[in-house]
Amino acid sequence: MKKVNGNSAPPEIIYSLKSSSLFSALAEREFNSLLSTSSYFELEKGETLFAETSEANSLFYIAEGSIKLLTYDFEGREKIVGIFSKGEVIWEGVMISLIHFPYSAVAINNVKVFQVSNTSIEKIVKNPVASENIIRLLSKKLHDANQRNLILSLEDPKARIAKFFIYNNQRSEGKPIKLKLEDIAASVSLRPETVSRKIRELINDGLIKKEGQSLFIILDEEGLIGISENS
């Protein structure tokens, strides 16, 4: 894992951070101050950004790639809490002291990410527009958490997987969903063989399409909704 000061990040990656909905309202001086006190990481697939129980004293903005948040059940099986991709923010305990991450963050592919400290966030909220953006993004985080809980509340495996695809289709704004079978299984708390069987059923139903090993295209979201609501 490569770590440098935020100022040393590639120009196009810095632009991604600056133009994000979280920081776009900052004046040049404010953004430069934030950048100089931030860290920039480049991770390869499988590398850990932070470990479970480490102190949560900052947020992470993903400029490229995808990261999965995971923990393990009492049998040692991986359970995915969430998957975050380009343009999204991982924050836990922002502006709260003595909070620790309840999960680890692992790169699904090559990832470029900024770490912004709580101290910098406390300065940002003094900007009214930036503060509104933070509230909006935190509301979205709460909505996403509620959606993930709703997925896990479904008892029927096929309905649970259908709801999972709906959730990811909406988050990706209709773009193809790239996820490995084992990551889907860990996300919905089902065995990989069960997930594989139910995905084949959804493909045969004409609701989704699979390309290659890990790319899924939603063909009929209304059909998926019907399955998820009639379980």
The DSSP string of 48-116 is EEE-TTSB--EEEEEEESEEEEEEE-TT--EEEEEEEETT-EEESSTT-SS-B-SSEEEESS-EEEEEE
Report which listed range, 41-55, 62-76, 134-148, is most confident: 41-55
Q: What is the pLDDT of residue 123?
A: 84
Mean local confidence (pLDDT), 17-43: 92
Share of the chain above pLDDT 90, in %: 60
Mean local confidence (pLDDT), 134-140: 83
| Among 37-41, 72-76, 145-149, 177-181, the least confident range | 72-76
Structural domains in the chain? 2-144 (2.60.120.10), 154-229 (1.10.10.10)
Q: What is the pLDDT of residue 93?
A: 65
Q: Classify residue 212 by its DSSP letter.
A: T
Q: What is the pLDDT of residue 68?
A: 93
Above 70 in pLDDT, residue 104? yes
Confirm if 69 and 81 have CB atoms less than 8 A apart. yes
pTM: 0.79
Rounded distance between C-alpha atoms, residue 88 and residue 60, angstroms: 8
Q: When comparing pLDDT for 148 and 98, which is higher? A: 148
Indicate the pLDDT class of residue 119, thresholds 50, 70 and 90. confident
Rounded distance between C-alpha atoms, residue 81 and residue 183, angstroms: 10
Share of the chain above pLDDT 70, in %: 97
Q: What is the pLDDT of residue 1?
A: 92
Tell me the average pLDDT of the chain: 90
CA angle 212, 105, 122 (to 5 degrees): 130
Rounded distance between C-alpha atoms, residue 68 and residue 76, angstroms: 17
Mean local confidence (pLDDT), 34-45: 95
